Structure 1
Amino acid sequence: MKKVENLKYLFSPSAIAVIGASAREGSLGRATFANILFNGFKGVVYPVNLRAKSILGVKAYPSVSNIPDPIDLAVIIVPAGEVPIVMEECGRKGVKGVVVISAGFKEIGEKGRQLEERVKAITDKYGMAMIGPNCFGIINTHPDVRMNATFGRINPEMGNIAFISQSGAVGGAALEYCEAEGIGLSKFISIGNKADISENELLLYLRDDPQSRVILLYLEDLKDPKTFLQIAREITDRYQKPILAVKSGRTKEGARAASSHTGALAGSDEAYNAFFNQCGIIRLDNLNELFDCAKAFSMQPVPRNKKIAIVSNAGGIAIMATDAAIRNGLQMASFSEKTKERLKRILPPTANVQNPVDVIGDADAQRYREALKIVLEEEEVSGVIATWTPTLMEETTKIAQVIAEIAPETQKPIIGCILSLEQHREVSAIMEKAQVPNYRFPEVAAKILSILCEYGEWLNRPRTEVKIFSDVMPERVKEIIGKAHAQKETWLLEPHAYSLLQAYKIPVAPFFLVKSFSEAESASEEIGYPVVLKIVSPQIIHKFDVGGVILNINDREELKSSYEKLLKNVREKNPEAEIVGVLVQKMIKGGKEVIIGMKRDPQFGSLLMFGMGGTYVEVLRDVSFRVAPIRELSAQTMIREIKGYPILKGFRGEMPSDIEKLEETLERLSQLVSDFDEFEEIDINPFLVFEKGKGALAIDARIRLRY
């Protein structure tokens, strides 16, 4: 916690030492020192350079130790090999925080990694908070500070958006974008290699920063996901500060590049999606979307639900906006008769008084004003997309003024979409002065409003906890895993997998492991026909490939011939396989096939999966993911967010499936994989779910252990 407390010295220092400051044109030392010196910093800045007497007219010192006054922040821009020496000097001087811009650490390989560990040890020794190494720098636009400790050319305007970037280049590009779009920032932090201060400490700092209303992240990996989840969830929920993120490395190739770039292990893209969902973080695809959304979140209130309205002066644009709204999960609000009557009184007979409202092409600013006000007063409406297409009537800037005047009168979000390339900057300036974001196209406006609504749903969701079941048998699981480890089994034998699932009360189709036909006969009679036979062998994972499964055996005669055929198939196709026995399992008919599973992610640990099951699951990929442990609400949403959910709910007169049993099974599997970290992969497919109230059964299960 001391390091988090020391962040105030990084962002609000009274005195800064720039170690490696230079007068040489084009050098990072000159650019960084000049940015602090000439961009309004309210404190004192000291250049440190071994040889120079002065830099840019300011007296220079050969070492930070020679500076007569206390130093809060040191910005270090020296060759990597010299950084430990400089850090020691800073520690002895009593410097509270350092920003290490210097590169040449873990991003270059093992030698750099060892150097970075030395630097980290020095920060811990003296209790200094360090950002970097290998970073672009930091900015605080607060008028009492006005510090730009970067080597970039942009000095951003003050705003209420904080931006944390793992990449210096992405951060620099983002600053350029902010300048071009007139977006102000509260804080800018390039975190580089995150050797000491990571996104977690910075989120804690920004959580309590009154200037930062919205937090943006560009990430390539996470340093400590569990801590991140706790902090981010608190910020997005209790503090109601939205966090928007771009996480690169979505593809395998991109993930490899990210790992090379950061020297860290990358998690899977599915895991990041699931993880951000559980944190309440909104994940976006690119920087353009990130800042488009940030603008809306920084200006407008969050809607209470997804029921929206559209007001336009052009039917075609209104239709495009409506299509985009529906595609993005929004709902078109239904107007009351009172609202429709009010609209009829102010609009021409040819105008549409349903939603979307078309005030038609000859509308002037007054007609648009009245229509927009009426729509905003409709109780069913939670947000409005206000679109306008320029006409020869030259009302475009007046429309922008109308929207700007109405916005402060409502607590509902208004998203502007004035389709004028020529006047875009002018109308945007008018509207954004009144805190209304303006976008060039209706598709963008609709997507932005849908994301605002998504966050509103997060804030208004029912609060649930992680359910803990007391009827489970962890000792039985330990026993099964222990025996498998002793036998060096990577994949559990199928009967052992079933027994393990049963220990956590995950329902399994009745089964017996037998070693002779007579045992198979007795088992079949006890279970009841029809039955299934499956080969059990540590060398055979995919049983169908070797003819190791025979279905729908109805009597003793079929059982005898099937038993012999099964053994013959396996001996012919895999003569080296060790046959442990044969699994006799009840043949279950009916129900709907789903898949429930888990895979281990290198960053997040146990990642739960749910989806429609069967043979084509890998092709259709209709699945959802969450990081374990999951709350009750996560189990519910995992099931409801897959495309196949209507089939489970009951399609075309079919009875609904036992969705509550699916939820319970997901929660039980979550508890199992949270209690034990020995699992690499669990695949229950198919898991048959029956009609509501009739439960579900695992029909096949594969469990792979980790060593």
Structure 2
Amino acid sequence: MSEDLPAGYPHLAEADVVLRDGSVARLRPILPSDAEGIHRFHSGQSEESIYLRFFAPIRRLSDKDVARFTQVDYVDRMALVALVRDDIIGIGRYDRVDESSAEVAFNISDSYQGKGIGSVLLEHLAALAQERGITRFEAEVLPQNRKMLGVFSEAGYEVSRRYEDGVVMLHFDIAPTAQSLSVRFAREHRAEAASVRALLHPRSVAVIGASRRERAIGHQVLAHVLDTGFTGAVYPVNPEADEVLGLPAVATVSDLPGEVDLAVVAVPAESVPAVVRECAAKGVHGALVISSGFAEVDERGAALQDSVLRVARDNGMRLIGPNSFGVLNLDPALRLNATLSPQVPPAGFLGLYSQSGALAVANLYSAARRNLGVSVFASAGNRADVSGNDVMQYWIDDDRTHAVGLYLESMGNPRKFSRIARALAANKPVIVVKSVISSGAPVPGHRVRSARVQPHAFTSMLKQAGVIHVENVHQMFDAAQLLLHQPLPAGRRVAVVTNSHQLGSIITANALAWDLDVVHGPVAVGTEASVADFTTALQAAFDAEDVDSVVVAFIPPVGALDQDVVEAVRESARRSEKPCVATLLGLRGVDTGSLVHEDGPASDGAAEGTQDDVAQQAPERPGQAVPLYGMPEEAVRALALATRYGMWRAKDKGDPLVREGTRIADAREVIDAVLADDPDGRALTDDEAHRLLTAYGIDLWQRVEVETADEAVHAAEELGYPVVVKSLSPLVRGQSLLDGIRVDLRDADAVRAAFTAMDQHLAPLDANYFVLQKMARSGIACVLGTVEDPLFGPVVSVGLAGAPTDLLDDIAYRIPPMTDVDCREILDDLKLAPLLDGYRGAPPTDRRALEDIIGRLSLMCDDLLELSSLELNPVMAHQDGATVLGAEILIRPAQRRSDPGRRALG
């Protein structure tokens, strides 16, 4: 917006949102310049809608009313408009009626009712109101306005109603509850899944830039769409040709003869914005931009990419790319190959997502070589709009996808990824290829924030979400072929059957390294054993009651592998409900009855051919086939990953944290006062830190700053003996060579002597600034913290105090919102966790007390965007509780989170 914005205009309230039907709308705070748009909106409403909103037949709004509607202070009076193609389609507003309550009202365009706009506006208004100290909404609704009554009743809040003077009076608290969050996430999921489904299940495809030159990208994509037998309508768009590949071509998008669901754009980069604008005017639902030359090239390309995205979103469209490799949907009822790859894997049940174009090729070829069936493949390219998060939303409900694999070069919204991945992994394995999220140079074309937390925070996030983390594509397919075609292991107990003592030893060692327990074997039948002997050993392993899974390795001493051995493994696994992984000489992939050789696809051509061939081979459901591995180490690793996932899926995930003893309004009062005095933010004083922590039920022990020995004695007598004197200088913290603390001081003489000695010792280092504090009970010193990370959002960290933690980098992380189980497991992740449980006869600490503080920190950093960093150090954990002795808290102005507390596209 080029106009001068009003004072206090909240930029953070701007958002693109997906509506119920999968289309996109723009939300932003209202502006005085919206007056004409309000008049147009109102004049387009039916008499019934006007009456339901204003309780009177007001055919035209007065200029005075419109001025009052459009001129707000964005604090006590807030209004949001929803727009599509710059037209207002919905208005939501609140007006404060007292310190903690506001009246809320909505007006939705007749032509857009039923798309969830009212629900989205309510979510955003509630979040904005809470940030301004409002905790309760009220509304007046006519009884016949069932749609608006439904918006309130279905939002997940506890709504009270009363009927008064012909009007329904509604009141409800707007603080998030488990129910309201569940409703919000469910609506977000349904909308985003619908938007992606429209892209992946088109009834018609237009290829814009469909050239007659065989080497041109547009020609290749069109050829692949046709070769795989796409069941919908196909339209080439080429201004210089009457026909392309036997199909009649049209000159422009506007000339297309019918509706188009998906536009595949393969024109020069500078032409893409105009093409997308034409698509929007034509009513095309979504665009797949294959063209390159955008943010992956330079800043000019980045600006061009931004313009393409803005055109798409302003017109309600979703967009894949630019610089995408394409999408593939092998549903036999669709048969869509809108990619640059002529190689088509068999149709099956693995969903694949890749950001890299080069690795997209590798993914498809590798799946084909392994005879591993694919349901849907999507390449996001520069992921200007559609990302892995969106595709995961689609996969949650896709019946043809039973496991997913994602190759991530970067991540724009880890917080949302964690939330969606956890929901997906609850029913389907999620395998992610990504080394680390680092602060290094970003991938060309990918705009990401730099992370402040350590790289293993990313690994912790994946573990928290139940994601299977692997190092490369090879490992991803190793895990996928097991997870798709075998039952999940019930536990860690493994049987090993082989025909070589050396192989048995290798497998056992690898199993132990992966925390598997070999309880049966290794059984080595000998190199000269018959197939019958091998079969007997196999059956005994599968029949053993204390075995959860079976590892088989058979390497013939001379010549080719005996087919009877393969059949024995196949039949033993088929009859059992226990998973089996196998290493058989020269074979790799999924054995569905035809062998998969390491040097290429199956001999019967199952990995090649047209989509007609693939569709005929695709089963209606995945059968129990044996996954084959070239080396036993690969088989064991895949089994270990499947075992960990199975145990995560079976375990109790915990309950959301309760807010007992928390007072958000008191915390906001502290933060608002700090930022009013210091707009750039600052560190809190001890008194401010105490008030902020108290608002969340955390008791920070008082400490008194002292500059002289007399002040130290006076403070000690006020606090009560015994006391501690310590330096606050970072030079002495955690240093054993610099004495920065004296403990257990029981009288005035001891305090005076300790202060004088430390003052003399530390003055030359300018480290002689001290505090005095009551002596706490001895225990294990812990450091609990939070940080508002630019990439991850709020992050909770836990470690033990001292040099060992720093040397071992022994810090555990979790991403809020956390459950009670997360609070427990973050402590279990520490290498030094045994110290908390009573190491070598020491009394165990009260871990529940630590978990309670961790949970409160999680709620605090999730609620307060201005909480830049917080460190509680030390927190003394002992047998009967945990004592918070120190706190350093930094407040900064709120920044936009990648996953705010309301629905929005990243």
Shift in Å, 1:136? 0.8
Distance in 2 of aligned mates of 1:473 and 1:547: 40
Alpha-carbon displacement from aligned partner over 1:201-232 (angstroms, at most 9, x marks no partner): 32222222222111111223444444433432
Matches of 2:336 and 2:681, distance apart in 1: 59
Amino acid at match of 2:855: E
Distance, in Å, in 1 between the alignment partners of 2:682 and 2:590 is 65
CA drift of 1:584 comes to 0.6
Query: CA 1:298 to 1:616, structure 2 compared with 1: closer, same or farther past 3 Å?
Result: same
1:71 is displaced (CA, Å) by 2.5
8 A Cα contact 2:552 2:583, kept in partner = yes
Query: Is the counterpart of residue 659 in structure 1 residue 847 in structure 2?
Result: yes
Query: TM-score by structure 2 length?
Result: 0.69
Matches within 5 A, 1:52-71: 52-71=241-260
Instruction: Say yes or no: does 1:300 pair with 2:486.
Output: yes
Evaluate the alpha carbon distance shift between residue 628 and residue 204 of structure 1 in structure 2; reply closer, same or farther with a 3 A threshold. closer
Alignment CA distance shift 1:325-1:59 (3 Å): same
C-alpha contact (below 8 Å) 2:375/2:400 kept by paired residues: yes
Ranges in structure 2 where 5+ consecutive residues have no aligned partner: 1-19, 23-192, 597-622, 894-906
Whether 2:543 is the aligned partner of 1:377: answer: yes
Structure 1-normalised TM-score? 0.87
What are the residue-to-residue correspondences of 1:313-332 with 2, within 5 Å? 313-332=499-518
Runs of 5+ unmatched residues, structure 1: 334-353
**2:459 matched to which residue of 1?**
273
| Matches of 1:441 and 1:496, distance apart in 2 | 60
Worse overlay, 134-143 or 549-558: 549-558
CA distance in 2, matches of 1:58, 1:98: 21
CA distance in 2, matches of 1:414, 1:665: 44
- Residues 354-363 or 379-388, more deviating: 354-363
> Quick one: which amino acid aligns to residue 605 of structure 1?
G
After superposition, the Cα gap between the structure-2 partners of 1:649 and 1:573, relative to the gap in structure 1 and judged at 3 Å, is closer
Amino acid in the other structure paired with 1:187: V
CA deviation vs aligned residue, 1:61-94 (integer Å, no higher than 9, x gap):
2112223233222110011221122122222333
User: What is the match of residue 321 of structure 2?
Assistant: 132
User: Following TM superposition, where does structure 1 have runs of at least 4 consecutive aligned residues deviating by more than 6 angstroms?
Assistant: 425-429, 545-548
SS of residue matched to 1:107? coil
Tell me the residue number matched to 1:522.
Answer: 714
Residues of 1 paired with 2:254 and 2:574: CA distance? 54
Q: Which residue of 2 aligns with 1:16?
A: 205
| Residues 495 and 396 (structure 1), Cα distance of their counterparts in 2 relative to 1, 3 Å cut | farther
Output the amino acid matched with 2:631.
F
Question: CA 1:231 to 1:482, structure 2 compared with 1: closer, same or farther past 3 Å?
Answer: closer
- Opposite residue 511 of structure 1, the aligned amino acid is R
Q: Do residues 649 (structure 1) and 837 (structure 2) align?
A: yes
> Contact 2:370–2:588 (CA<8 Å) still a contact in 1?
no
Instruction: Spell out, residue by residue over 1:543-592, the C-alpha distance to the aligned partner (whole angstroms, 9 max, x if none).
Output: 55997934234542342244345556666544xx9x9x742123446422
* Structural mapping, 1:106-185, within 5 Å: 106-185=295-374
**1:478 Cα deviation after fit:** 4.1
User: What residue in structure 1 maps to residue 407 of structure 2?
Assistant: 218
Contact 1:221 1:265 (C-alpha < 8 Å) held by counterparts: no
1:416 corresponding residue in structure 2: 582
Q: Is 1:684 equivalent to 2:872 in the alignment?
A: yes
**SS of 1:355 mapped into structure 2:** strand
Tell me what 1:338 maps to. Answer: none
Q: Where do residues 245-394 of structure 1 align in structure 2 (5 Å cutoff)?
A: 245-253=432-440, 256-258=441-443, 260-267=444-451, 269-333=455-519, 354-392=520-558
Distance in 1 of aligned mates of 2:278 and 2:424:
37
**Is the 2:787–2:861 contact (alpha carbons within 8 Å) kept by the matching residues of 1?**
no
1:583 aligns with: 771
1:440 aligns with 2:630: yes
Alignment correspondent of 1:96: 285
| Post-superposition offset of 1:289 | 0.9
Pair 1:199–1:167, CA change in 2 (3 A): same
Paired letter, 1:384: V
1:307 positional shift: 2.0
Assess if the C-alpha contact under 8 Å between 1:388 and 1:396 holds in 2: no
Cα 1:641–1:309, aligned 2, differ >3 Å: closer, same or farther?
farther
Q: 1:317 to 1:205 in 2, by over 3 A?
A: same
Instruction: Write the letter of the residue equivalent to 2:742.
Output: L
Is the Cα–Cα contact under 8 Å of residues 271 and 601 in structure 1 kept in the other structure?
no
- Secondary structure at 1:646 match in 2: helix
Q: Is the 8 A contact 2:504 2:522 kept in 1?
A: yes
Show the counterpart of 2:810: 622
Q: Which moved more, 1:324-333 or 1:77-86?
A: 324-333
Distance change >3 Å, CA 395–CA 77, structure 1 → 2: closer
Identify if the C-alpha distance between structure 1 residues 361 and 699 changes in structure 2 by more than 3 Å, giving closer, same or farther: farther
Aligned residues between the structures: 671
Structure 2 match to 1:468? 658
Find the counterpart in structure 1 of residue 682 from structure 2. 490
Task: Indicate conservation of the 8 Å contact 1:428/1:438, yes or no.
Answer: no
The alpha carbon displacement at 1:671 in A equals: 1.9
Contact kept, 8 Å, 1:220 with 1:249, in 2: the verdict is: no
Report the AA paired with residue 140 of structure 1. Answer: N
1:588-622 CA distance string (max 9 Å, x none): 46422333222222122111112332123221112
TM-aligned CA distance change 1:393 to 1:284, over 3 Å: closer
The alpha-carbon distance between structure 1 residues 148 and 363, as it changes in their structure 2 partners (threshold 3 A), is same
Aligned runs of 1:220-239 on 2, under 5 Å? Answer: 220-237=409-426
Match of 2:646 among 441, 453, 456: 456
Aligned pair partner of 1:85 in 270, 274, 278: 274
CA contact (8 A) 1:18 1:46 kept: yes
> How does 1:512-551 map onto structure 2 within 5 Å?
512-514=704-706, 517-535=709-727, 541-542=730-731, 549-551=740-742
Who is 1:404 aligned against? 570
Q: Please say if residues 300 and 413 of structure 1, whose CA atoms lie closer than 8 Å, have aligned partners that are also in contact.
A: yes
Contact 2:590 2:626 (8 Å CA) reproduced: no
1:344 counterpart residue number: none
In structure 1, distance between residues paired with 2:531 and 2:332: 38
1:42 aligns with 2:226: no
- Give the 3 Å change call, closer, same or farther, for CA 197–359 of structure 1 in structure 2: same
**CA 1:21–1:475 in structure 2 vs 1: closer, same or farther (change >3 Å)?**
closer
Cα deviation for residue 262 of structure 1 reads 0.3
AA aligned to 1:624 is: A
- Post-superposition Cα deviations, 1:163-201, rounded to whole Å, max 9, x if no partner, equal 111222221222232233332211110112333322233
Select 1:671's aligned residue among 859, 876, 879.
Answer: 859
Q: Partners of 1:307 and 1:197 in 2: how far apart?
A: 41
Aligned with 2:504: secondary structure? Answer: helix
Aligned twin of 1:347: none
Most deviating of 124-133 and 409-418: 124-133
Partner Cα distance (1:40, 1:473) in 2: 61
**Structure 1 residue 470 displacement after superposition:** 2.0
Shift, 1:244, TM fit: 0.9
Q: Which amino acid aligns with 1:264?
A: V
What is the identity, as a one-letter code, of the residue corresponding to 1:265?
A: R
Following superposition, the deviation at residue 439 of structure 1 comes to: 0.9
Q: What SS does structure 1 have at the residue aligned with 2:627?
A: coil
> Do the aligned partners of 1:517 and 1:560 also contact (CA within 8 Å) in 2?
yes
CA displacement at 1:293 relative to structure 2: 0.8
Partners in 2 of 1:315 and 1:285 — Cα distance?
Answer: 30
State the identity as a percent. Answer: 31
How many angstroms apart in 1 are the aligned matches of 2:290 and 2:361?
13
CA deviations on 1:423-442 (whole Å, 9 max, x unpaired) are 55897964778511011222
